[in-house]
Amino acid sequence: MDPSSSPAVQMFENLSCANGYNEGNFTIEDIREVTTKDCTLNCHPPLWGQKVLKPVPYAEVQANMKSMCRWSRQHRTADMELALHPNGTDLALFHTVKIMLKPMPCCYLMQVPIVWVAKGEMEDGKLKVKEVHEHAAKTPAEALEVIQKEFDFPADTTFSKFLREYK
């Protein structure tokens, strides 16, 4: 199956658009269209300085991102690698999050390789994001270990290049 035709990939694309990766702007209405009412972001320690796992409502995350986007910009690079769960609703993405200051686009404040997992659920007749998980992972091999251990991806799961760059 062509990964781009997967409902889970379309769910991810919709979330990326709602988060402003394509135009650099987003609204709370956009996020409500692509996430469930109880969608959460779960940053697993030690990523982003977290000491404990504490789910955060995604609407709150988006409000913080919107505030941060006044002075900085997030950039997902072309090193993205995608793994689809056979359940058809979940996916994992290994990539490097790069954050730069808008006045100095040549300088990155941080570059953090992570594995990003989206768990989907049907709501209002369409597949929406229910949970987002972020884990530290330095390599695709390390990311595979995480998704197999923590998110029940099968042992034969592999990553493939995801040819999409968000700026």
Q: What is the pLDDT of residues 91-134, one digit of tens each?
A: 999 988 777 776 676 777 677 888 999 999 999 888 999 999 99
Q: Tell whether 150 is covered by a domain.
A: yes
Residue 167 lies in a domain: no
158 CB-side CA count, 13 A: 3
Residue 57 structural domain:
3-161
Write down the pTM of the prediction: 0.84
Does position 166 have pLDDT exceeding 50, yes or no? Answer: no
In a domain, 166, yes or no: no
Looking at residue 101, what is its pLDDT? 72
CATH code where residue 101 lies = 3.10.450.50
21-30 burial string, b = 16+ CB within 10 Å, else e?
beeeebeeeb
Cβ-proximal residues to 83 (8 Å cutoff; 6+ apart), any chain: 91, 92, 93, 94, 144, 147, 153, 157, 158, 159, 160
Q: What is the pLDDT of residues 22-53, one digit of tens each?
A: 555 555 567 778 889 899 999 898 887 888 98
pLDDT digits (tens, 9 = 90+) for 122-138: 998 889 999 999 999 99
Residue 67 lies in a domain: yes
Query: Assign residue 77 a region: left if phi > 0, alpha if psi is -120 to 50, beta otherwise?
Result: beta
Establish if 57 belongs to a structural domain. Answer: yes
Of residues 78 and 46, more confidence is placed in 46
Separation between Cα atoms, residue 95 and residue 82, nearest integer Å: 9
Rounded Cα–Cα distance for residues 72 and 20 (Å): 13
Number of domains the chain contains: 1
CB 97 within 8 A of CB 80: no
**Per-residue pLDDT for 157 more than 50?**
yes
Q: Give the Cα separation of 23 and 84 in Å (integer).
A: 26
Residue 71 within any structural domain of the chain: yes
Residue 58 predicted with pLDDT over 50:
yes
Position 77 scores a pLDDT of 61
